[in-house]
Structure 1
Amino acid sequence: MTIDRGTLRWNGWGPVKQENPLPGDAPQWGWIEETLGVSRLPSTPAVMLHDIRLPHCRLTDAQLGRLREIVGENQLRTDDYERAFHARGKSYHDLLYVRAGKLDMAPDAVVYPRSADEVLAVVKLCADEEIALIPYGGGSSVVGGINAISKSLGGAILTLDTTLLTRIIQIDKVSMTARIEAGIYGPQLEEQLQTHGVTLGHYPQSFNYSTLGGWIAARGAGQQSNRYGKAEKWLVSAKLATPKGFWTTEATPASAAGPNLNQLVAGSEGTLGVIVEATVKIHDLPERKDYRGYLFKTFAAGVEAARRINHAEIPVAMVRLSDAPETYFFQTFSSSSSGGLKSKLQRAYLKMKGFDEAPCLMLIGHEGPKDTVIWAQEQTEEICKRQGALALGTGPGKRWYHGRFDSPAVRDPMMDRGIGIDTLETSTRWSNITKLHDKVVDAIDTAMAANMPEQHARGIVMAHVSHSYPDGASLYFTFIFPRQLDREVEQWQAIKRAASDAILMNGGTISHHHGVGADHVPWLAEEKGEIGMALLKATKREMDPKGVMNPGKVLG
């Protein structure tokens, strides 16, 4: 069974009935207020759906009738809830509009196809009628990737929700591949695979509310990508419904028959067609998992340890290094719970060891056969200690693993109290990691300082390395700030623009795993170059000559 849309928040993250991680009497609020330098945190609740007026449906009766013939009466939705739910993704930028009730770009209708053939029929109808078609999986995009943008001013918009395409069609344990429909959610996918003793191993932070097709479309990365790979690594083959018919990419383990077209599908973000199924690489369930923490005196020392671990080709599942502000923020934020690093005894111990200034926390995870995990853990610990690290044992790793999908739920109560919180990510070479980190932190800090609601207000910016490779690693930034309630979007745009400019000016990519969507379009041409952009645009024209597939994304 897929997730019932009615149980999820249309204007926030997760289930409607989930427990509030930051209730009004939470001790963290005082610390947040003091840290952000604001006189008080205002009440800024979201607008209720019944107070919102959605745009008039621009689909004709004839078009709606044809859609009903394809998917059936119950699978075509035109009610306010479905249209609002599918209007935008889950970025901070999106939620500024959604929570304010500004749903001018809501789809005119939503369809829930139950088969690849139904998807293809819907795609062809939209091409014939020149209706903008927005492929939608879990809706967790944070770059405007599934926003309901029309093909032309005043044009009709249809969102195609894939979440009834949930079958695992075949598991090949000889080749260690699985063929799976693209609308399946992460938990459902892993539950079914693990009954057969195998796993995909792709666990992004959005795991509970994102789908296989979405992971591929955005070139997503799971938290254990060092072991299992990003989406473009574990994708074997994909089947797409396009305006020109079904397209299935090559499925051989290797080929010299021209460029591998799977790499066009991974990262296409619904602009070439709708991914209806995929063949992916799978792995035996790990016999053992080991996650533990290390403290470094400096971010640079932690980066050097991560580089050495990668260059030693030690089979790690994850190497995650927080900078000093992130280490301080999350340990202070959770200090009310037992086992936090902020207890007096722990502070005294860290001071004695020389880690009381601005330590940086690294979490290292290992998964696989027992003997391999034991050996790999010993090797990584030796490298960390050579770089001056303090081993913290498995406690920090277990706490992170237990709550690794919980962070997005904190944003809703923060937005209810006038606080903005957003993320962005990039990657670069090892030789450039610390420089890029410092430049982007400085750019965000400067932009936040120039866009504050009060004289003494300030923001927080923090970062971590979360995915690493032989030649470099990703950097993931989180920034928290008091909102300028009279110019919220402009405030966000100023910060986003400053950070994105700093990324490209200092050797980073505009996105490591979130994708391009609509938000990163202004920076893509500079990264790809004139010839690269011409190739991408030519592919788009050939696959989607009328431009109906997810307009406004990737190529603008």
Structure 2
Amino acid sequence: MTIDRHTLRWNGWGARERAFEFGDHADAVWTWLRSELGLTTFDMRPAVSLDALELPTAALGDDARAALEAIVGPVWVCGDRYERAFHARGQSYPDLLRLRAGEVETAPDLVVYPRAEQVQAVLAWADAERVAVIPYGGGSSVVGGVSGEAGRQRGVVTLDTTRMDRLLALDETSHTATFEAGIYGPQLEQSLGARGFTLGHYPQSFEFSTLGGWIAARGAGQQSGRYGGAATWLVGARLATPAGEWSTGAFPASAAGPDFNHLVAGSEGALGIITQATVRLHRAPNVRDYRGCLFPDFVHGVAAARELVQAEVPVATLRLSDPSETDFFSEFSKARKPPSTPRRVAGRALEAMGYGGDRCVLIIGHEGERGAVDAAHTRTNAIVRRNRGIPLGRGAGQSWYRDRFALPYIRDPLLERGVAVDTLETSTSWSNLLPLHQAVGDAIATAASATLRDGQRAMMMAHVSHAYLDGASLYFTIVFPQAPAGEELHQWQAIKSAASRAIIEHGGTISHHHGVGTDHRDYLPEEKGPLGVRLLGAIKAELDPRGIMNPGKLVPTASAKG
């Protein structure tokens, strides 16, 4: 395995020895946050210990363990408390609520770590024995995509893919590479970097997510403007399915019917397990240049982002924070490190120029050869200024780039203090982006306020990212005081439901890059239509006739056969 599971948090984010760095002013940060949320004191809610965690009784016995050990070896079949707890849930807010409270109603009976060539045999056994199989890479799903639901099967096995971590081939002429699907992001990039290449896929979960997971969720990394998302860079895939091995081929393009790679990207383990994938590569950039720009309001920032994309200026990253997110990170930064006198003076000057409470920060990243980056930067500055933007230089961009993988670590100390944080995302056309931003923001604010006690407040913010010629993604974050103990899940459901309904009713997709899982499955029929959902069900029934693959995710379970 690339990462020893015991070095990671079983009920939180990332490596045990790492934590969010608040600097020398942690007390000031917490004082500021209490004030923003309308709290006089934090409601401390420590997580239960692993020993106190209530796991369901395993439904599979010694015969199942022996059968799996015969396939993968005794060392690679686990049924201990830690492994079952670690693989019970993903990283969504409701997942962590359950884990931290010690109330895990579903968990795998066994966890198996096969090599790629052993996966088909594991599925054949599970299919014959009516055992659900939950594919698990890094476990970073934030939509309930890896929870151990048995459906109508008699037990649950989680199939951890992380022993499948080899680079199988690198074609320097064609700029493609074939990897086993369980390889983690850092190992993948290290192996490519040694040969002068990059995949360029850097989601916020990069350090603790896998190639197969990126594809299964149809993911998009923070530099998708240059490198594309999973559906763009996937050339071909090989899957193990209950019906047999399935390969989509690996062509640069083909008109031989529909492209099955688009079925694999976004399949969420419901159709089979991705064992290997061929991906498109880029030469590793000589230059990475990230800078910030300031706009007087969200309207001008959106206009600049749209013009940059539609003018086909080559950018790797465009991330436009709305006024609330801009203010949040500005005040958070000030609490962590009080600004110097020159910075305070500059801030007052900008406010006097009209860059005050409605201001928005746009992070723009260019990557590639020096000449191309410089040319793109010149064109970018012209468009920014034309839309009343002020270039801020490299400081803001470099700060974002440096800390982009650190922010998930802040969630655990927030939960310790009774403060919830959750995210959701969508995408829509440029013409609908501002109305959708307003509608979803209003829905979240209204629903959150209804769950809070007197004087409490929620903080809602959003940013635009993953921009295309015809539209972009909207990514929302909400920070709010948790409801009284025992009511937290109902509180989340009220907010999530209101936001999801607003997205569906105002022209957005239910997910841009997080996937469907369990959290979004009830909204899929409205987006895909009844016929589309039946079509997905028919495909699943062909590949997985007994419905053992990741039950309850993405598509309705097919009718049992045999």
TM-score (norm 1): 0.98
| Cα distance in structure 1, aligned partners of 2:299 and 2:351 | 20
Aligned AA for 2:90? G
Aligned-partner SS, 1:509:
coil
1:54 aligns with 2:55: yes
Equivalences for residues 40-189 of structure 1 within 5 A: 40-114=41-115, 116-152=116-152, 155-189=154-188
- Mapped to 2, the partners of 1:340 and 1:402 lie a distance apart of 19
Deviations 1:240-299 (A, max 9, x none): 010011111021111111000000000000000000000000000101111100011110
- Secondary structure, aligned partner of 2:111: strand
Question: After alignment, is 356-365 or 264-273 more displaced?
Answer: 356-365
> CA–CA distance in 1 between the matches of 2:26 and 2:405?
23
**Post-superposition offset of 1:340:** 5.7
Q: How large is the Cα RMSD of the aligned pairs?
A: 1.4
Distance in 1 of aligned mates of 2:52 and 2:351:
55
User: Given residue 429 of structure 2, which amino acid in structure 1 is its aligned partner?
Assistant: R
Partner of 1:142, secondary structure, is coil
Which digits, 9 at most, give the CA deviation of each residue in 1:478-533, with x for residues without a partner? 00000002300000000000000000000000000000001000100000012211
**Equivalents in 1 of 2:175, 2:29: separation in Å?**
46
Which amino acid is 2:515 matched to?
A: G
Equivalent residue runs for 1:386-401 within 5 Å? 386-401=386-401
Q: 1:26 Cα deviation (Å)? A: 3.0
Is residue 296 of structure 2 the alignment partner of residue 297 of structure 1?
A: yes
Residue pair 1:425, 1:474 contacting (<8 A) in 2 also: yes
Match of 1:443 in 2: 443
Distance (Å, rounded) in 2 between the aligned partners of 1:86 and 1:182: 18
Task: Provide runs of 4+ in structure 1 moved above 4 Å.
Answer: 22-25, 337-343
2:234 and 2:445 map into 1 onto residues whose CA distance is 38
- 2:2 maps to a residue whose letter is T
How many Å separate the matches in 2 of 1:118 and 1:351?
A: 62
Tell me the distance in 1 between the aligned counterparts of 2:408 and 2:26: 20
Flag the 1:20–1:473 CA change in 2: closer, same or farther, 3 A. Answer: closer
> Structure 2: any 5+ residue segments left out of the alignment?
557-562
How do 1:303-452 and structure 2 match up within 5 A? 303-337=302-336, 343-452=343-452
Cα deviation code 1:345-368 (max 9, x no counterpart): 232231233212321000000001
Instruction: Write the distance in 1 (CA, Å) between the matches of 2:181 and 2:540.
Output: 21
- Corresponding residue number in structure 1 for 2:480: 481
Secondary structure of the 1:511 match is coil
Conserved in 1, the CA contact under 8 Å of 2:298 and 2:358? no
SS of the aligned residue for 1:334 comes to helix
Letter in 1 for 2:386: R
1:533 maps onto 2:547 in alignment: no
Which position in structure 2 is the counterpart of 1:490?
A: 490
How many Å apart are 1:22 and its aligned residue?
Answer: 4.9
- Separation in 1 of the partners of 2:52 and 2:100? 11
Amino acid of the structure 2 residue aligned with 1:555: V
Distance in 2, matches of 1:253 and 1:26, equals: 55
Q: CA deviation at 1:341?
A: 9.4
Contact 1:341/1:347, CA 8 A, preserved across alignment: no
Question: C-alpha displacement at 1:53, in angstroms?
Answer: 2.9
Q: Distance in 2 between matches of 1:290 and 1:441?
A: 32
2:19/2:409 contact within 8 Å kept: no
- Matched letter for residue 475 of structure 2: Y
Distance in 2 separating the partners of 1:349 and 1:203: 36
The 8 Å contact of residues 238 and 275 in structure 1, kept in 2 or not, is answered as yes
Are the structure 2 counterparts of residues 464 and 37 from structure 1 closer, same or farther at C-alpha, using a change threshold of 3 Å?
Answer: same
C-alpha distance 427-20 of structure 1, shift in aligned 2 (>3 A): closer
Asked if 2 retains the 8 angstrom alpha-carbon contact of 1:418 and 1:485, the reply is: no
| Segment drifting more, 44-53 vs 270-279 | 44-53
Counterpart of 2:27 in 1: which secondary structure?
coil
* Deviation string, structure 1 residues 300-328 (Cα, Å, up to 9, x no partner): 11111111011101111011100000000
- Superposition deviation, residue 458 in structure 1: 1.1
Q: Establish whether residue 276 from structure 1 lines up as the match of residue 275 from structure 2.
A: yes
Amino acid across the alignment from 1:171: L
Following the alignment from structure 1 to structure 2, what is the Cα–Cα distance between the partners of residues 267 and 212? 13
**Counterpart residue type for residue 27 of structure 1:** A
Cα contact 2:20–2:407 (8 A) shared by 1: no
Structure 1 residue 543: Cα displacement: 0.6
Contact 1:517–1:553 (CA<8 Å) still a contact in 2?
yes
Paired residue secondary structure (2:347): helix
After TM superposition, list the pairs within 5 Å mapping 1:124-273 onto structure 2.
124-152=124-152, 155-273=154-272
Distance 1:538 1:332 in 2: 51
User: Once structures 1 and 2 are overlaid, which stretch shifts more, 197-206 or 19-28?
Assistant: 19-28
CA contact (8 A) 2:19 2:410 kept: no
Report Cα offsets for 1:382-426 as digits up to 9, x if no partner. 101000011100110000000010111000000000001000000
Shift of 1:338: 5.1
Query: Contact conserved, 1:331 with 1:341, CA < 8 A, in 2?
Result: no
Contact 1:86 1:107 in 2 (8 A): yes
Please tell me the residue identity of whatever aligns with 2:393. G
User: Are 1:32 and 2:33 an aligned pair?
Assistant: yes
Percent identical among aligned pairs is: 53
Cα distance in 2 for partners of 1:101, 1:62 equals 29
- Residues 525 and 533, structure 1, Cα contact 8 Å, conserved in 2: yes
Distance 1:151 1:270 in 2: 14
Q: Name the residue aligned to 2:559.
A: none
Distance 2:170 2:107 in 1: 38
- Partners in 1 of 2:397 and 2:404 — Cα distance? 10
Indicate how the Cα distance of structure 1 residues 516 and 230 shifts in structure 2: closer, same or farther if over 3 A, else same. same
1:286 alignment partner AA? P
Letter in 1 for 2:230: A
Per-residue CA deviation, residues 159-198 of structure 1 (Å, 9 max, x unaligned), is 0000011100000010000000000000011011100000
Counterparts of 2:380 and 2:92, CA distance in 1: 35
Are the counterparts in 1 of residues 240 and 275 from structure 2 also a CA contact under 8 Å?
A: yes
One-letter amino acid matched to 2:409: A
Question: Greater CA deviation, 27-36 or 201-210?
Answer: 27-36
Q: In structure 2, how many angstroms separate the alpha carbons of the residues matched to 1:555 and 1:366?
A: 39
String of CA shifts for 1:191-218, please: whole Å, max 9, x gaps.
Answer: 1110000000000000000000000000
Contact 1:521 1:554 in 2 (8 A): yes
The CA distance in 2 between the partners of 1:457 and 1:194, in whole Å, is 49
Q: Match of 1:300, SS?
A: helix
8 Å CA contact 2:321–2:362 kept in 1: the answer is: yes
Contact 1:465 / 1:473 at 8 angstroms: preserved in 2? Answer: yes
Q: 1:549 to 1:170 in 2, by over 3 A?
A: same
Structure 1, unaligned stretches of length 5 or more? none
Task: Indicate if the aligned counterparts of 1:250 and 1:260 stay in contact, CA closer than 8 A.
Answer: no
